[in-house]
């Protein structure tokens, strides 16, 4: 099978790991993603992953419970490390070689982020799991995905969601919402679409890295995208 995207950045939300639960990690979801990633590796795709932490702790909401915003953001970063460890374990159970990299130093469980080393892991066919966000408060994991994708020269960012692309409104709440098949970064930014934060859109716009938003729950979508099929919504430069 011909491959359109040789090196991808897969962005997963922490909430996607909850499955039918209200919080935490559901094992079936871990292996749902691990099997899809394994198929990509078998195709020769180099895979980097950034995963959120919203299934465990969301920094932005911490201030509502009296926790300082910066403290809350660091707690959220630690949650992404937990999710990264879980996904790493699932991938290795499937026989996939991985490296867990943390933007926050924790030598016992993850490598520190060194760009050249991360790129070398990808070149050797290892799945690189970037955790700890950017290592800085006030930045989301969307921004972390955009930053790391640009740093390791990924061909595309694939953002897996529960819906099959970007809509004019939340399709789960508004039945009249219309789907976009293609958007420019300027359109996405001007419309204030909440599917990714503006920092992430801007980083990708400035460096000409396209974003595809798609339904991750369809197990065939990742393979179809890397093969060049039109799936979800493509956001790219003019």
Kindly report, residue by residue over 37-95, the tens digit of the pLDDT. 999 999 999 999 999 999 998 766 666 778 888 999 999 999 999 999 999 999 999 99
Task: Give the separation between CA 132 and CA 212, rounded to whole angstroms.
Answer: 23
Q: What's the pLDDT band for 2 if we cut at 50, 70, 90? A: confident
Token representation of residue 176: 């009249």
Question: Considering the entire predicted model, what is its pTM?
Answer: 0.94
Residues above pLDDT 70, as percent of the chain: 97
At residue 26, φ and ψ (nearest 5 deg) are: -100, 125
pLDDT of residue 4: 95
Q: What's the pLDDT band for 194 if we cut at 50, 70, 90? A: confident
The H-or-E segment that residue 9 falls in is strand 7-12
At residue 233, φ and ψ (nearest 5 deg) are: -120, 130
At residue 184, φ and ψ (nearest 5 deg) are: -90, 160
Short-list 119, 120, 117, 147, CA closest to 132:
147
With 90 as the cut, is the pLDDT of residue 170 above it?
Answer: no
Q: Can you list the alpha helix ranges (DSSP code H) found in 57-212?
A: 69-93, 115-123, 141-151, 185-190, 198-207
Q: State how far Cα 38 lies from the chain centre.
A: 16
Of the candidate ranges 12-16, 76-80, 190-194, the one whose mean pLDDT is the lowest: 190-194
Domain-wise residue ranges, the chain: 7-159+171-190+203-222
Considering only residues 195 and 129, tell me which one the structure prediction assigns the higher pLDDT.
129
Token representation of residue 57: 């702790």
Task: Give the separation between CA 71 and CA 224, rounded to whole angstroms.
Answer: 40
Of the candidate ranges 105-109, 133-137, 161-165, 190-194, the one whose mean pLDDT is the lowest: 190-194
User: Could you tell me if 197 and 211 are in contact, meaning their C-beta atoms sit under 8 angstroms apart?
Assistant: no
Task: Give the separation between CA 159 and CA 12, rounded to whole angstroms.
Answer: 6
Q: What's the pLDDT band for 168 if we cut at 50, 70, 90? A: confident
Fold of 7-159+171-190+203-222: Carbamate kinase (3.40.1160)
Q: How far is CA 193 from CA 56, 167, 185, 190, 235, in A?
A: 25, 8, 10, 8, 12
């Amino acid at each position: 099978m011909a491959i359109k995207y040789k090196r991808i950045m897969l962005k997963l939300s922490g909430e996607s790991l909850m499955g039918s639960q209200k919080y935490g990690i559901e094992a079936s979801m871990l292996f749902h993603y691990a099997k899809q990633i394994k198929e990509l590796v078998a195709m020769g795709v180099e895979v980097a992953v950034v995963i959120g932490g919203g299934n465990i702790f969301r920094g932005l909401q911490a201030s509502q419970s009296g926790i300082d915003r910066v403290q809350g953001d660091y707690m959220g970063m630690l949650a992404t490390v937990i999710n990264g460890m879980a996904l790493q374990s699932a991938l290795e159970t499937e026989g996939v070689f991985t490296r867990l990299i943390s933007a926050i130093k924790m030598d016992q469980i993850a490598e520190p982020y060194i760009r050249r080393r991360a790129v070398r892991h990808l070149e050797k066919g290892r799945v690189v799991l970037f955790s700890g966000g950017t290592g800085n408060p006030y930045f989301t994991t969307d921004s972390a995905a955009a930053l790391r994708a640009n740093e390791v020269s990924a061909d595309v960012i694939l953002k897996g969601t529960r819906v099959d692309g970007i809509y004019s409104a939340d399709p789960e709440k508004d039945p009249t919402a219309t789907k976009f098949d293609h958007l420019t970064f300027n359109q996405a930014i001007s419309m204030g679409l909440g599917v990714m934060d503006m920092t992430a859109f801007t980083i990708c716009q400035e460096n000409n890295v396209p974003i595809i938003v798609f339904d991750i729950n369809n197990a065939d979508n990742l393979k179809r995208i890397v093969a060049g099929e039109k799936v979800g919504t493509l956001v790219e430069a003019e």
